[in-house]
Amino acid sequence: MMKNKMKEFRESLGLTQQQLGELVGVSRQAINAIETEKYEPSIWLAYDICKVFHCSIEEVFLFEESERKSRAQQSRGVI
């Protein structure tokens, strides 16, 4: 799963989960699921969230190398 700092950014702006959800067009439950790392947002939703925070995707969403191979690596036969 992808880690994130959404709650920290959201609270620094004084927004509730409901308010952030309304700004990006998703439910409060969706924002909660992303914050608790139960759901990974689409790249488009991540982009919209970061626009609200006035920062880059890399500042909010932390991509970590996975032990399993990516689809690209699998298709190229990389071990």
pLDDT computed for residue 42 by the predictor = 95
Please state the domain extents for the chain. 3-76
Please provide the CATH number assigned to the domain covering 3-76.
1.10.260.40
Q: How do residues 11-28 score in pLDDT, each as one tens digit?
A: 999 999 999 999 999 999
50 contacts 60 by C-beta, under 8 angstroms = yes
pLDDT computed for residue 63 by the predictor = 80
Q: If you ran DSSP here, which 8-state letter would residue 62 be given?
A: E
6 contacts 34 by C-beta, under 8 angstroms = yes
Q: How do residues 32-79 score in pLDDT, each as one tens digit?
A: 999 999 999 999 999 999 999 999 999 999 987 656 555 666 666 665
pLDDT computed for residue 64 by the predictor = 74
Q: If you ran DSSP here, which 8-state letter would residue 47 be given?
A: H
